[in-house]
Amino acid sequence: MPVNADKPLLWKADIARSVDCYNAWFMPFAPEAYRNTRVLTTKHVEGALQLTSNLTKIDPAVLRENPTVLPMLRMATAPPIARDRLIGLAQVSPNLVRSMEIEKRLPPQMGLKLIDSDLTKIGSVILRLADRDIFTWLDDGTSGPKQPTLEETFRASTIVADRLCGAMADPIIRNAQEQRQLATIQQWLSQRGYSVVKPNTVKFGSMKPGTFTFRLNVPVKLTDGSQINIPIDAVVMPKGAGSGELPVLIEAKSAGDFTNTNKRRKEEAIKITQLKANYGATISYILFLCGYFDSGYLGYEAAEGIDWVWEHRIDDLAQFGL
């Protein structure tokens, strides 16, 4: 039987409490999470400046050996340029740029000669657009580059780090909130005698009763016969589970506004469809919600057969056999 999905009369009050719960966390902790990330990012930018000889030498060898510096370089220009804008300006392979930024590597199927050609173009664009108000030591057209002082490189690094963190503000906050949600789930389970295990030591179909793990890959076969892994935030095997019983799957979800939730709600619908096709209609897949989830989002998930637990009423987990 559903726990919350079939009780729309309670949704309005729960939505209000969930928003309050998120805001109560956000005000004191989100700025700290942002500041901590900015400190680390500043160090990464300083390292990137060293690799590029303080932004005076952006050659293919540097970019090949250090693909992760590319986002920093995009934020070092005036104006800062988006990933697709860099692809268009440099007239380079979209696959190369996205592979460097997302996968942190060069595309293995791309030839070295073409890679070096595209990296040369990228370096030229960055050097041409480099923000000389920040990197004051660069060639101003009348003289060559100067050797910057430590103060100048630190100031430039903090400005670029602010730009990077500004572009990544939502993921930074979302990651910090997810960590807090998983810690809350762990505390609740541990207080009830559950033991945490490392995800690389267990398999989805063979977890022991009374154990749980985080970020476990659950294998599913698609209709074309191929197999993929669905990452699940928390996987819990009830203490009273019998032979052949499957664990409870929990997805931690947070949102700082009502807009983005409607863009993301189809993700869960796809997952539950694939899970049911592989493990049967009785598989327990629930959401752990904190933040801005409106009735439209809840109604959509309920229609897909997905139930949820509000963080402000975490004890509802017990109604799922835990």
CATH 3.40.1350.10, applies to 8-29+170-320: yes
Distance CA 223, CA 307 (A): 25
Residue of higher predicted confidence among 38 and 214: 214
Residue of higher predicted confidence among 38 and 9: 9
User: 33-40 — which CB contacts under 8 Å span 24+ positions?
Assistant: 33/172, 33/173, 33/176, 34/165, 34/169, 34/172, 34/173, 37/165, 37/168, 37/172, 38/158, 38/161, 38/162, 38/165
Please count the other Cβ atoms lying within 10 Å of the Cβ belonging to residue 57: 13
Polymer length in residues for the chain = 322
Q: How confident is the model at residue 262 (pLDDT cuts 50, 70, 90)?
A: low
- The three-state (H, E, C) secondary structure of 163-216, written as one string: HHHHHCHHHHHHHHHHHHHHHHHHHHHHHCCCEECCHHHCCHHHCCCCEEEEEE
pLDDT computed for residue 143 by the predictor: 57
Distance CA 181, CA 200 (A): 21
Per-residue pLDDT tens digits for 279-304:
888 888 999 999 888 888 899 899 88
Q: Which of 21-25, 189-193, 208-212, 234-238 has the lowest mean pLDDT?
A: 21-25
Contact assessment for residue 309 and residue 4, using Cβ atoms and an 8 Å cutoff? yes
Both tokens assigned to 169:
């503000």
pTM of the prediction? Answer: 0.67
Sign of CA dihedral 284, 285, 291, 292: negative
List the domain boundaries for the chain. 8-29+170-320, 34-168
Please count the other Cβ atoms lying within 10 Å of the Cβ belonging to residue 289: 29
Distance CA 216, CA 198 (A): 9
pLDDT computed for residue 288 by the predictor: 95
Per-residue pLDDT tens digits for 77-118:
888 888 888 889 899 888 898 888 888 888 888 888 898 899
